[in-house]
A and B are shown apart, each in its own frame.
Chain A
């Protein structure tokens, strides 16, 4: 009876933690199966423990090449989308101008469109223009679908910014460039960083749009997709696990650093 009552009281906690388990489970499976020594081409059933894949992560032809293509694409797409998106966000928050609504919907629509629709329409454009599909078309596509997310992230930050800080800078005889570099940019930086991180993650992980517009270029998600048909090497799990651990480490590190900075500021 008592058990039942405490179960009911903690129902939300239990349900929430179960959902979390559901979300983390595949990551754990990926991690565990990076230590597998599969028989046959597919790494879906547990056989024996092995460190082989960890010793030789690039041992599969094409895998590390695809990884480097993805890193380049994501890096360049992040720079492009962050610059373009930040500029749009500033214009939208700071200025009133005609066609504001139109700009808003043009930025919002790519995020509200099924990916496959965008992927297919871009392909028709490239086919009609006779553009050669490859790294460049992938980059163009990635910048396109990342802009909206950067705008959203930067907008949120700039909107909560006190414009009087910039007025104060101007009153203290700071020129427009100085004001922007010393006041505006530092305050907007967390929003820009969040947008950039999001863009990098989205670009690195994108499959559908890339698959349509890559031609013979192979990104990491495309390599994984192909391997689901031909045979999944354990190295895929190694890369997945390494990415997971690295990213979590960066997040935890970032939190401790900002936490310490905050603590110092409060002193």
Chain B
């Protein structure tokens, strides 16, 4: 709705009860800027400006004792990549796998809530959001109990010979799940599932049910209906769910630290320890910029491919 072009005030004293007098148009035109000013200023100072500072930090050299100085030393980027590319690859791999698992696990639940839940719908939605209410760190720690060595879950996976397969793939070690890549991916999947389910649900909920009936009338099997009608129409949800899962998962280090081992460290852990423990700010800043660039690149390519550029 455009409100900028306010109609001129009616000539005074024409007797008729015309519309209430409006504020002068110059003042009206400034209204949006006054509304934006505080919030945008906040974001500029505490989001955009920090990025600039980080960029400058990443090309500095020096040490904490002697102080840092901008020397345009781009070698930090190369050193960071050379030193930590395993963590980068791992982060993208784990985040990608977790995103895929979230999609596979989340789609049926979103579908169930959107089309089959009936009067249970609002209860199921509450149950999807409910886990949020317990601090995510506490819930992640609970996975330590669930995946404990010799516990029920591990025993079940073992007797189903799942562990044989995952061990062969290198996702688990022997009869352990904790402190292996599988535990980290399991935690990531768990943590970001709601971010996949909610957008999926929203876009499935928008689908006109008569389209399904029409597909059925045209002799489409349920599988064909899903492939040709439901899934394509849910693409906006798939895309935004994937992004909402992949982006935070790629920078996460909580799961890797709590459920993994030193062999499962992700790039977030490296950035964290470089910044807070090693105090090598240039390397940390460079790493964090590379992560940002890689994520932006992956996301742009993904959005290009899935063809919903108007989404973001």
Contacts and interface: CB of A to CB of B under 8 A. Distances in A.
Contacts of A54: none
Q: Interface majority SS on A: helix, strand, loop or mixed?
A: helix
A102 B75 CA distance: 32
Interface stretch (A16-24, A55-63, A184-192): A16-24
Contacts of A173: 20
A122 B288 CA distance: 12
A175 B106 CA distance: 49
B113 interface: yes
Interface residues of A, number: 91
A25 B146 contact: yes
A243 B131 CA distance: 10
A115 B272 CA distance: 11
B268 interface: yes
A91 B122 CA distance: 32
Contact of A232 (B3, B109, B141): B141
Q: Which of B1, B110, B268 has the most CB of A within 10 A?
A: B1
Interface string A164-175: 000000110111
What size tier do the contact residues of chain B reach? 35 or more
A15 B113 CA distance: 12
A125 B135 contact: no
Contacts of B128: 20, 23
B53 A13 contact: no
B268 A91 contact: no
A255 B122 CA distance: 9
A53 interface: no
A141 interface: yes
A30 B254 CA distance: 18
Interface in A98-114: 103, 106-110, 112-114
A240 B138 contact: yes
Contact of B284 (A17, A20, A26, A120): A120
Interface stretch (B41-49, B79-87, B162-170): B41-49
B126 interface: yes
B132 A205 contact: yes
A20 B46 contact: no
Given A112-B299, A114-B291, A224 B141 contact: yes
Nearest to A227: B141
Contacts of B285: 120-121, 124
A255 to B, nearest CB: 6
A120 B288 contact: yes
B39 A87 contact: yes
A257 interface: no
Given A110-B47, A114-B250, A26 B190 contact: yes
B253 interface: yes
Contacts of A113: 247, 292, 295
Nearest to A247: B133
Interface string A220-242: 11001100100010001101110
Contact of A24 (B2, B46, B130): B130
A267 B85 CA distance: 65
Contact of A208 (B106, B112, B253, B284): B253
Given A15-B108, A33-B145, A163 B1 contact: yes
A175 to B, nearest CB: 8
28 contacts: A13-B116, A16-B110, A17-B112, A19-B108, A22-B190, A24-B127, A25-B142, A27-B134, A27-B142, A30-B138, A91-B35, A96-B2, A103-B36, A106-B48, A114-B250, A114-B291, A116-B268, A116-B272, A116-B288, A116-B291, A120-B271, A125-B46, A205-B132, A207-B136, A236-B141, A240-B138, A240-B139, A244-B130
Interface of B: 1-4, 19-20, 23, 29, 31-33, 35-36, 38-40, 42-44, 46-51, 53-54, 57, 105-106, 108-113, 116, 122, 124, 126-146, 148, 190, 193-194, 197, 243, 247-248, 250-254, 258, 268, 271-272, 275-276, 281, 284-285, 288-289, 291-292, 295, 299, 312
